[in-house]
Amino acid sequence: MTKSYEQLMEYIDKVMAFQAALTLFEWDAETLAPEESMNYTAKTIGILSNEYFTNLINEDVKALISKLSEENLSVRENAIVKQIKKSYDEMELIPPKEYQAFKELTAKASGIWAKAKKNQNFAEYAPVLDEIITYQKKFAGYRAKANENPYDILLNDFEEGFNTKTLDIFFDKIKKAVIPLLKEVTKKEASIDKAYNYQDYDVTKQKEFCNFLSEYVGFDKAKGVIAESAHPFTMQIHNHDVRITNHFHTNNLESAIFSIIHESGHGIYEMNIDDDLTQTPVGGGTSMGMHESQSRFFENIIGRSESFWLPIYDKLRETYSEQLKDITLEHFIKGINKSKPSLIRTEADELSYPLHVIIRYEIEKMIFNNEITTDELPKVWNQKYEEYLGITPPNDAVGVLQDIHWAGGSFGYFPSYAIGSAIAAQIYYHMAFVMPFDQYLKDGNLSPIREYLKEHIHRFGGIKNTNEILKDMMQEELNADYYVKYLTEKYTKLYGLD
Amino acid sequence: MTKSYEQLMEYIDKVMAFQAALTLFEWDAETLAPEESMNYTAKTIGILSNEYFTNLINEDVKALISKLSEENLSVRENAIVKQIKKSYDEMELIPPKEYQAFKELTAKASGIWAKAKKNQNFAEYAPVLDEIITYQKKFAGYRAKANENPYDILLNDFEEGFNTKTLDIFFDKIKKAVIPLLKEVTKKEASIDKAYNYQDYDVTKQKEFCNFLSEYVGFDKAKGVIAESAHPFTMQIHNHDVRITNHFHTNNLESAIFSIIHESGHGIYEMNIDDDLTQTPVGGGTSMGMHESQSRFFENIIGRSESFWLPIYDKLRETYSEQLKDITLEHFIKGINKSKPSLIRTEADELSYPLHVIIRYEIEKMIFNNEITTDELPKVWNQKYEEYLGITPPNDAVGVLQDIHWAGGSFGYFPSYAIGSAIAAQIYYHMAFVMPFDQYLKDGNLSPIREYLKEHIHRFGGIKNTNEILKDMMQEELNADYYVKYLTEKYTKLYGLD
């Protein structure tokens, strides 16, 4: 460890401590804090955010980063400095006052968005969204090199090395396969009866079963907790304190089940990161896309397979002996995989899901290419839903107003969801080749699967980026072909097509 | 607002933000955080504590405090600066390295204490306790003026203006009245049958009833939350985010009931503090003693009275129709007020409670007067229990090892509990004089009682100290006579003495 590195770490240890505190306040706000608290806690959060910022962005840190670029560092140290430099570069070129104004704008915007959604009235939201877009275009402009597409800057923030060029190819492959496949599937939609899922399911029993499920897939309660919130999410203070939430509906059995498996997947990733990265800037999962790949691997590849349910379906059936009396395992597996084009991304099935993402990707590209005004968003949104999914939103609440992301200033985030699904499929084919994957599931023995993911993905935290991880793991970077193959094989079989 | 005041507030705003974060981490550790988290979160807490310390104790702050002593400040500003000066003075004379070592010692000590208690073996705990005592004597020595008793320094930290001189008089009055009274009561102990309390009480129903109770006494869920922990406590992020906990036992009905009323009392105090004191150093209750007075006022004066239960006992009886079938309101009131000398302070009844405090006060005085060695503590402890309560602890786990306070370095804290009970009784006689107190309880209308407490006590936060509050409220400082009168009247009547 060099002297400069030590000096840099004095700042970074503080930055990480403030981040941990901010994370805990955010967790608390989503799960527990009383209604009136935020009016005052906002002041505390403002001060902690400012301390976070000033300890990260200052002349001292800048000089130390520059000095360290010429020093001999270990792989770990090098990755940490690189990550700090990335955060520094993202922030440095944006004038602090503009950033502050932008933060205040987005803090305000989520309330406006929620109200507009409730009123099904995009016009209420359009002005603030337009301001947010203007800021993001400006910020991306500050950071863009000559001839660089501003949207590419944002995409790269979420997934290092990804841009419109790579993603156009990626999404094009998916679109060409999924749109016709979904049309075929939709014709046979009625062949799977899913009425059982929408009966009355006691919430206390749901909680018990979801608790069992989280442990079954490997979420370690010594390093994590589960709470409730309006929308399920995962958050970590560090790799020994990983927090997930779930939500429960009396009239929907599978919602909580697949949410808990999904969030457990996120949680297991974080818990498996090496301890020598804990509380450093590379102490979390490497990217949004890689994170989604793990949650979706657990939720879809593992959690929606017949082999997974073979040893545990009886337990679920005993829990709800009345409601599932006539539902065989085969029927249940068809039910949890049933596909039907729908309007809401977060409720979409595995097959139609990527189309929801593609629509958002194409619209975001149009926004940053100045090919669309904010006012035109609902019209274009609805046209694309009709074109790709064959349905038109009856109002904007279930259309362009459904996601909170843009209100928070997040553009370039949506592709991560589809990248995650594609990585999950690619990993699946690899793992089914190197280990008796299916047999492990049938035996209720998920530990070798988790260990393999830990060994090749999780433990590295942010030391390697997505494509580096994939290449080291299976000698190939992200390739949408596997995802297309996976969806085609799965749904052809499920619906008895061709 | 003067310029110096503004400059001071820049530091203090940060100090308060770090304190809020530390409070949230503490709350989280007690209620939710996973087992392994603290091994790593300790680093974050260390950094935040250090930021707290360096923003409070530095030459700049010292100079500003001194400057402000000559400036014209508002009452509010003056109280805030005075409070900062008090914190500053407490810390300033202690060498930071020694304080750090002491903090590390106490962090370690609670584990050693818990183990020694489990093993019923004081010898395991004695060495670390001895080190803690040595530090506290040394620290108090740094701060003591010539001829000042070091224990007086600590007593004054918890309750401004109180020392061994005032407390000797205070406790002497109580001792003289309570010891003989308790002897009389103990003779008639069998006259109250309390077997009903120890039957099987469903926890879900307990939670529901306690939820009802907290709202009934006035704990506002828009400004507060209730969770569970091993031992009930209250904590506040600020006056719009007040957190209380409860615990539940299937075989003890009243434990959770009186815990929730007690903690609600603490909580209501914090919630009622004026908004213009929020997130300042005087934004919390003025002292431990005054805080205990409010919790005990709600728990004992209100919560154990027949008038309080008159409108709501039927609800409790319906909740547990089987267990309380034959228990009349009269019987229940006798049961919840039954007195019987016992070994554990936290489980003691209202009458024997002050004797537990007096024993600790007398022992702490001996410690700081160098009249007792650490090794002699169990012997003296047991002697005093035999002398005052007529019972001898069979082992140290239920004797000198029962409290965590000393392991945390808290000496001079215990008297607050008795001061609180005495204030509660004094307030009671005052309020019964100025308003139809009993009738309000019978009508289930607690709001005028709460409003009066808010008007005369709560809203001032730390602007006035205990005796200032009492004097402004009822033209008299703390006077143990009322407490003695209250206990004598209550228990004479309850047991039909003389």
A311-360: pLDDT as tens digits: 999 999 999 999 999 999 999 999 999 999 999 999 999 999 999 999 99
> Mind telling me how many Å the CA of B466 is from chain A's nearest CA?
27
Tens-place pLDDT, residues A368-391: 999 999 999 999 999 999 999 999
Asked whether the beta carbons of residue B33 and residue A278 sit closer than 8 angstroms, the reply is no
Tens-place pLDDT, residues A444-488: 999 999 999 999 999 999 999 999 999 999 999 999 999 999 999
pLDDT band, very low/low/confident/very high, at B219 (cuts 50, 70, 90): very high
- Closest chain A residue by Cα to residue B16: A44
Distance, CA of B430 to CA of A72 (rounded, Å): 75
- Average per-residue pLDDT in chain B? 96
Q: For residue B453, which amino acid is it?
A: L
**Over pLDDT 90: what percentage of chain B?**
93
pLDDT band, very low/low/confident/very high, at B209 (cuts 50, 70, 90): very high
Domain ranges for chain A, please list them. Answer: 3-119, 164-494
Is B263 annotated in the active site?
A: yes
| List of chain A residues whose C-beta atoms are within 8 Å of the C-beta of residue B25 | 21, 24
> Mind telling me how many Å the CA of A107 is from chain B's nearest CA?
19
Instruction: Tell which of A26, A220, A241 to mutate to test the B interface (max B CBs under 10 Å).
Output: A241
Asked whether the beta carbons of residue B28 and residue A24 sit closer than 8 angstroms, the reply is yes
- Closest chain B residue by Cα to residue A221: B34
| List of chain A residues whose C-beta atoms are within 8 Å of the C-beta of residue B40 | 237-241, 278-279
Rounded (5°) CA angle B380-B151-B177: 60
Find, among A115, A129, A56, the residue nearest to A410 by Cα.
A129
Q: What is the pLDDT of residue B103?
A: 86
Tens-place pLDDT, residues B169-199: 999 999 999 999 999 999 998 999 999 999 9
Distance, CA of A354 to CA of A356 (rounded, Å): 5
Give the closest of A51, A224, A279 to B40, CB-based. A279
Q: What is the pLDDT of residue B389?
A: 96
Give the closest of B14, B16, B36 to A222, CB-based. B36
Asked whether the beta carbons of residue B237 and residue A13 sit closer than 8 angstroms, the reply is no
Q: Calculate the alpha carbon distances from B42 to A8, B26, B180, B409, B459 in Å.
A: 21, 11, 49, 19, 35
- Average per-residue pLDDT in chain A? 96
- Phi, psi torsion values for A83, nearest 5 degrees: -65, -40
Asked whether the beta carbons of residue B35 and residue A222 sit closer than 8 angstroms, the reply is yes
- Closest chain A residue by Cα to residue B46: A17
pLDDT band, very low/low/confident/very high, at A97 (cuts 50, 70, 90): confident
Q: What is the pLDDT of residue A498?
A: 75
Q: What is the pLDDT of residue B107?
A: 83
> Mind telling me how many Å the CA of B193 is from chain A's nearest CA?
37
How many CB atoms lie under 10 A from the CB of residue A203? 11
More confidently predicted of A83 and A92: A83
Q: Which residues of B105-133 are buried (b: 16+ CB within 10 A; e: fewer)?
A: bbeebeebbeebbeeeebebbbebbebbb
> Mind telling me how many Å the CA of B384 is from chain A's nearest CA?
43
- Phi, psi torsion values for B238, nearest 5 degrees: -170, -175
Helix B415-434 to helix B164-187 angle, to the nearest 10 degrees? Answer: 80
Are B188 and B206 spatial neighbours (Cβ–Cβ below 8 Å)?
A: no
> Mind telling me how many Å the CA of A261 is from chain B's nearest CA?
19
Find, among A44, A28, A31, the residue nearest to B278 by Cα.
A44
Report, as an integer, the average pLDDT of A130-137.
Answer: 97
Q: For residue B42, which amino acid is it?
A: A
> Mind telling me how many Å the CA of A119 is from chain B's nearest CA?
25
Distance, CA of A260 to CA of A229 (rounded, Å): 12
| List of chain B residues whose C-beta atoms are within 8 Å of the C-beta of residue A33 | 225, 241
Q: Give yes or no for residue A67 having a pLDDT over 90.
A: yes
| Max intra-chain CA distance, chain A | 69
**Contacting residues for B423 by C-beta, under 8 A, at least 6 apart:** B289, B290, B292, B293, B297, B466, B470, B478
- Phi, psi torsion values for B445, nearest 5 degrees: -115, 85
| List of chain A residues whose C-beta atoms are within 8 Å of the C-beta of residue B222 | 34-36
Q: Give yes or no for residue A55 having a pLDDT over 80.
A: yes
Distance, CA of B339 to CA of B334 (rounded, Å): 9
Which CATH number, 1.10.1370.30, 3.30.565.10, 1.50.10.10, 3.40.30.10, labels domain B164-494? Answer: 1.10.1370.30
Q: For residue A329, which amino acid is it?
A: L
A236: left (phi over 0), alpha (psi -120 to 50) or beta: beta
Alpha carbon A337 to its chain centroid, in Å, reads 20
Distance, CA of A418 to CA of A358 (rounded, Å): 8
Q: Which of A398-402, B69-73, B284-288 has the lowest mean pLDDT?
A: B69-73
Find, among B283, B240, B285, the residue nearest to B265 by Cα.
B285
How many CB atoms lie under 10 A from the CB of residue A326? 7
Tens-place pLDDT, residues A221-243: 999 999 999 899 999 999 999 99
| List of chain A residues whose C-beta atoms are within 8 Å of the C-beta of residue B35 | 221-223
Give the count of alpha carbons within 13 A of B489, CB side only. Answer: 9
Q: Give yes or no for residue B485 having a pLDDT over 80.
A: yes
- Pairing mode of beta strands B224-228, A224-228: unpaired
Distance, CA of B29 to CA of B25 (rounded, Å): 6
| List of chain A residues whose C-beta atoms are within 8 Å of the C-beta of residue B43 | 13, 17, 279
Asked whether the beta carbons of residue A240 and residue B25 sit closer than 8 angstroms, the reply is no
As given in the structure block, the two tokens for residue A248 are 């429960």
Rounded (5°) CA angle A22-A28-A33: 125
The structure's pTM equals: 0.93
Give the closest of A28, A227, A240 to B39, CB-based. A240
Distance, CA of B433 to CA of B452 (rounded, Å): 13
Distance, CA of A214 to CA of B496 (rounded, Å): 59
Asked whether the beta carbons of residue A28 and residue B24 sit closer than 8 angstroms, the reply is yes
Tens-place pLDDT, residues B270-282: 999 999 999 999 9
Asked whether the beta carbons of residue B44 and residue A21 sit closer than 8 angstroms, the reply is yes
- In DSSP terms, A227 is beta-bridged to A245
Report, as an integer, the average pLDDT of A181-197.
Answer: 95
Q: Give yes or no for residue A38 having a pLDDT over 90.
A: no
Report, as an integer, the average pLDDT of B353-379.
Answer: 98
Q: Give yes or no for residue A492 having a pLDDT over 80.
A: yes
**Contacting residues for B133 by C-beta, under 8 A, at least 6 apart:** B367, B374, B406, B411
Report, as an integer, the average pLDDT of A400-409.
Answer: 95
- Closest chain A residue by Cα to residue B226: A32
Q: Give yes or no for residue B269 having a pLDDT over 80.
A: yes
Tens-place pLDDT, residues B24-50: 999 999 899 998 998 899 999 999 999
Are A225 and A260 spatial neighbours (Cβ–Cβ below 8 Å)?
A: no
Place of tokens 């940490």: A80
**Contacting residues for B83 by C-beta, under 8 A, at least 6 apart:** B281, B282, B462
Find, among B327, B345, B420, B421, the residue nearest to B388 by Cα.
B345
Q: For residue A120, which amino acid is it?
A: Q
Q: Give yes or no for residue B498 having a pLDDT over 80.
A: no
Distance, CA of B354 to CA of B178 (rounded, Å): 8
Q: What is the pLDDT of residue B92?
A: 87
Q: What is the pLDDT of residue A225?
A: 97
For every residue of chain A, which 3-state class applies, written as one string? CCHHHHHHHHHHHHHHHHHHHHHHHHHHHHHCCCCCCHHHHHHHHHHHHHHHHHHHCCHHHHHHHHHHCCCCCCHHHHHHHHHHHHHHHHHHCCCHHHHHHHHHHHHHHHHHHHHHHHCCCHHHHHHHHHHHHHHHHHHHHHHCCCCCCHHHHHHHHHCCCCCHHHHHHHHHHHHHHHHHHHHHHHHCHHHCCCHHHHCCCCHHHHHHHHHHHHHHHCCCCCCEEEEECCCCCEEEEECCEEEEEECCCCCCHHHHHHHHHHHHHHHHHHHCCCHHHCCCCCCCCCCHHHHHHHHHHHHHHHCCCHHHHCCCHHHHHHHCCCCCCCCCHHHHHHHHHCCCCCCCHHHCCCCCHHHHHHHHHHHHHHHHCCCCCHHHHHHHHHHHHHHHHCCCCCCHHHCCCCCCHHHHCCCCCCHHHHHHHHHHHHHHHHHHHHCCHHHHHHCCCCHHHHHHHHHHCHHHCCCCCHHHHHHHHHCCCCCHHHHHHHHHHHHHHHCCCC
Distance, CA of B389 to CA of A65 (rounded, Å): 68
**Over pLDDT 70: what percentage of chain B?**
100
Helix B415-434 to helix B353-368 angle, to the nearest 10 degrees? Answer: 140
Edge-to-edge, what's the strand order for the sheet holding A234-238? A224-228, A241-246, A234-238
Q: What is the pLDDT of residue A1?
A: 80
